[in-house]
């Protein structure tokens, strides 16, 4: 049982601080080299106690098994410019020795029924505490700016209207998600075309 | 003449730090009250020396008049969820006593030829330095997440391909901007519909 | 009456964040110029609710007059290397237009009975909130590293042993404070001697 | 050879950011539990390029072996209230799995000729970079507030007067260091006396 939520959440907050700093460091490294970064920005949040309790009920998670069974108490989010950047970031994360990836879920190509798109990585992070090491479960969501636009607003609407959306609203949101995704594809194509152009001009000059 | 760019930019960096903290404080105040914040997140940047020099040439700005004539050396950006939030933020900024608004430009409803949309506020900020007060020119850009999606990518493409875009690319980017704007309008309409629904339900219960 | 302490303390936290950033900016400005900074480091704290309640009782402050009558809910601390630096910092603060100094208390030369030494400045700070400007009372304590050594430990001993210290402990602490102060004076004298030396050498070379 | 100092120092800056956050986390953990923290505050600095070059010459370190042979390019500092706290912190650091301690030097009990006192730990830190893991050498200095008072001022005097101090100044600084150390011992004794008092009172009540 959780006797004191502040005590319970402390290691998650610490892990979150360390991981956010480390992920922002990836962006810094690309920029320091003079390269475009596949990471545009990084945010983090600790799941509020109310949401933890609500999810325990909904998913039948026992309070004594929270640390093992709830994967997103410590949540990080990485925003990318282009679709390809998502998979570049996934590759970079797979190579790190300071996290142990447990599961990957590609909601970019297999969107949820709501229209939600993102790439999820669940992992454990060995946190050093005064009394020794502890493995902390955490989740990173990787998405484009367009996916983040949609997910932020959908979450905001959901928050204020906690019931299931009326079918018509559900469809309009799905369709908006589809449009946002097509915008992502269009931007990628424009980038590829410009890159081809640039290559041609260079080839001419040689 | 600017003898030392670090010296020249120091007050801009200080002003930027203070203003970013203050704008983030607006968001905190809404959240502390348990309300949705019209500000989703805030970023800032100091214009790199290369860009300052390039703009001086392009706009025929004399180096001795940089502090008076270049308005965006200190740049802040506020991202909003919904179109309406932009104007809520503008109202909140107009009421502040610690900035003096000099000019407002509504590129939300009057987009630039490129397709760029944002609301710009140019203002001066009285910065306290060791040797007294100094007025610093600064610019805030206020935009939705969808506008930010488009502007971020367009800027990134521009950066790598500094020449004028080929006409076909120009048109595709304009059209993508239009689609992003329609997504903003669609999301606002969905929100309004849900708000009306919520009101009806409440009225029934009374 | 204070109905919600989080609501009550929010503006103090905001003011504290802004003031800490601004005071650290003073240090940055000296360093950027290549000069020694009279400010070594800056800390801040919001008075814990328990301490506010205890002080209300002890000082007979009415809860409805907390914002007007309790001056140190928002507390800042500036640490200096040398005794003289304290008065340099006081001068710099007096020139700022963004704070209104209400009272100064020189506990450096008029130490408290406990042996406590610091220079206190009570001031009001015009904070910009969503609903308009609000004057926030705040206190800055300016002290040397040696004074901070003594005050930190005395506070720590007091915290764990909340009763009045036994007379013998009281005297030992007073005497330790005196020794720390003499160390400050000795360090200032050494600095002056070295500065005289340096001047002599320069004069010879000319 | 170091071709670009920004590139060379980037991993040190990253390691420094991560380590400072982690060390501050130790303090947070004590406070969260409602206990006094043996860590009062933490600072960090990257050695300036000028100092690196000066030390390379003085210590005959080859530029190609900088990463292996210069241990304090990434420097961290932990300040403690009481002498005992230094050794508590050392124990906590020895238990961490994310640093590999290479050497410890006890300048607390074996002060340098100058009078300098601190406990030094040299270690390597496995930093995760985009292109894989890299071991970064770093140094932590652990000292009391009184030792920090002395060392800060001595460093400041040294910086402005880079020649060897005149013998008389040297002696006065040594003697000031001795006095500061006796203050540390006196404060520890007062604490022990108060702790004995507290225990006696508790025993009476039982």
**By the 8 A CB rule, do C161 and D198 touch?**
yes
Summarised one tens digit per residue, pLDDT across range D183-204 is 999 999 999 999 998 888 878 8
Distance between CA atoms of C198 and C204, rounded to whole angstroms?
Answer: 10
Instruction: Report whether pLDDT(D29) > 90.
Output: yes
What ipTM was assigned to the predicted interfaces of this complex? Answer: 0.94
Q: What is the mean pLDDT of residues C91-99?
A: 98
Residue C1 — pLDDT band, cuts 50, 70, 90? confident
**By the 8 A CB rule, do D150 and D120 touch?**
no
Q: Which of A43, A124, A102, A48 is nearest to A77 (CA)?
A: A43
Query: Which candidate in C24, C91, C128, C135 is best for mutational testing of the B interface (most B CBs within 10 A)?
Result: C128
Q: Which of B32, B44, C36 is nearest to D157 (CA)?
A: C36
CA A41 from chain centre, in angstroms, equals 11
Which pLDDT belongs to residue C198?
A: 84
Per the listing, tokens 């599961």 go with: A103
Instruction: Report whether pLDDT(A206) > 70.
Output: no
Residues of C numbered 139-168 whose beta carbons fall under 8 angstroms of chain D's beta carbons: which are they? Answer: 144-146, 148-149, 152-153, 156-157, 159-161, 165-166
Inter-chain CB proximity B22 and C18 less than 8 Å: yes
Which pLDDT belongs to residue B143?
A: 98
Q: Tokens representing B9?
A: 């930019």
Which pLDDT belongs to residue A182?
A: 98
Residue among C10, C18, C126 minimizing CB distance to B29: C10
- Is chain A adjacent to chain C, meaning 3+ CB pairs within 8 angstroms? no
Neighbours of chain B (3+ CB pairs under 8 A): A, C
Q: What is the mean pLDDT of residues C49-67?
A: 96
Residue among D18, D29, D30 minimizing CB distance to A21: D18
Inter-chain CB proximity D21 and A17 less than 8 Å: yes
CA C76 from chain centre, in angstroms, equals 6
Which pLDDT belongs to residue D162?
A: 73
Instruction: Report whether pLDDT(C72) > 90.
Output: yes
Question: Would you list the domain boundaries of chain B?
Answer: 5-146
To the query of whether residue D139 is one of the catalytic residues in this protein, the response is yes
Summarised one tens digit per residue, pLDDT across range A8-65 is 999 999 999 999 999 999 999 999 999 999 999 999 999 999 999 999 999 999 999 9
Q: What is the mean pLDDT of residues C102-106?
A: 98
- Which of A164-168, B134-138, D113-117 is the least confident region? A164-168
Instruction: Report whether pLDDT(B206) > 70.
Output: no
Give the percent of chain B with pLDDT over 90: 91
Summarised one tens digit per residue, pLDDT across range B73-109 is 999 999 999 999 999 999 999 999 999 999 999 999 9
CATH topology for A5-146?
Beta Polymerase; domain 2 (3.30.460)
Q: What is the mean pLDDT of residues D113-119?
A: 97
Give the percent of chain C with pLDDT over 70: 100
Strand partners, C105: C120
Q: Tokens representing A35?
A: 């390269």
Instruction: Report whether pLDDT(C160) > 90.
Output: no
Distance between CA atoms of B58 and A109, rounded to whole angstroms?
Answer: 44
- Which of A160-169, C181-190, D29-38, D50-59 is the least confident region? A160-169
Tell me the pTM: 0.95
Q: CB B163: neighbour CB atoms within 10 A?
A: 10
Distance between CA atoms of B83 and C66, rounded to whole angstroms?
Answer: 40
Which pLDDT belongs to residue C114?
A: 96
Direct distance between the N- and C-terminal alpha carbons of chain C, in angstroms, rounded to an integer: 70
Q: Which residues lie below 8 Å from residue B23, measured CB to CB, with a gap of 6+?
A: B39, B42, B76, B78, B140
Summarised one tens digit per residue, pLDDT across range B6-15 is 999 999 999 9
Summarised one tens digit per residue, pLDDT across range A123-175 is 999 999 999 999 999 999 999 999 999 999 999 999 888 778 999 999 999 99
Instruction: Report whether pLDDT(D107) > 80.
Output: yes
Residue among D29, D92, D129 minimizing CB distance to A29: D129
Kindly name the residue from D103, D139, D168, D185 that is annotated as catalytic: D139
- Is chain A adjacent to chain D, meaning 3+ CB pairs within 8 angstroms? yes
Strand partners, C134: C127
Summarised one tens digit per residue, pLDDT across range B108-129 is 999 999 999 999 999 999 999 9
Residue-wise DSSP of D73-96 = SEEEEEEESSHHHHHHHHHHHHT-
Task: DSSP letter for C98, please.
Answer: S
- Phi and psi for A57 in degrees, rounded to 5? -65, -50
Query: Check: CATH 3.30.460.10 for D5-188?
Result: yes
Instruction: Say yes or no: A128 contacts chain D, CB-CB below 8 A.
Output: yes
Distance between CA atoms of D201 and C161, rounded to whole angstroms?
Answer: 11
Summarised one tens digit per residue, pLDDT across range D65-105 is 999 999 999 999 999 999 999 999 999 999 999 999 999 99
Average pLDDT, chain C: 96
- Phi and psi for D37 in degrees, rounded to 5? -90, 135
Spatial strand order in the sheet of B132-144: B41-46, B74-80, B132-144, B119-129, B100-106
Summarised one tens digit per residue, pLDDT across range B24-50 is 999 999 999 999 999 999 999 999 999
Instruction: Say yes or no: C32 contacts chain B, CB-CB below 8 A.
Output: yes
């Amino acid at each position: 049982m959780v006797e004191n939520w502040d005590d319970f959440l402390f290691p998650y907050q610490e892990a979150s601080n360390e991981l956010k700093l480390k992920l922002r460091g990836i962006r810094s490294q690309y920029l320091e080299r003079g390269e475009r970064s596949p990471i545009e920005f990084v945010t983090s949040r600790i799941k509020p106690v109310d949401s933890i309790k609500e999810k325990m009920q909904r998913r039948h998670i026992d309070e004594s098994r929270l640390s093992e069974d709830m994967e997103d108490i410590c949540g990080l989010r990485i925003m990318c410019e282009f679709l390809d950047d998502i998979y570049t970031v996934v590759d970079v994360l797979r190579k790190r020795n300071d996290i142990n990836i447990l599961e990957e879920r590609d909601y970019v190509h297999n969107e949820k029924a709501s229209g939600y798109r993102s790439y999820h990585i669940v992992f454990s992070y060995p946190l050093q505490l005064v009394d020794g090491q502890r493995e902390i479960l955490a989740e990173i969501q990787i998405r484009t700016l367009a996916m983040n636009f949609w997910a932020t607003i959908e979450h905001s609407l959901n928050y204020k209207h906690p019931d299931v959306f009326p079918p018509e609203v559900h469809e309009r949101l799905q369709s908006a998600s589809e449009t946002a995704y097509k915008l992502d594809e269009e931007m990628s194509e424009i980038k590829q075309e410009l890159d081809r152009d640039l290559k041609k001009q260079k080839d001419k000059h040689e």
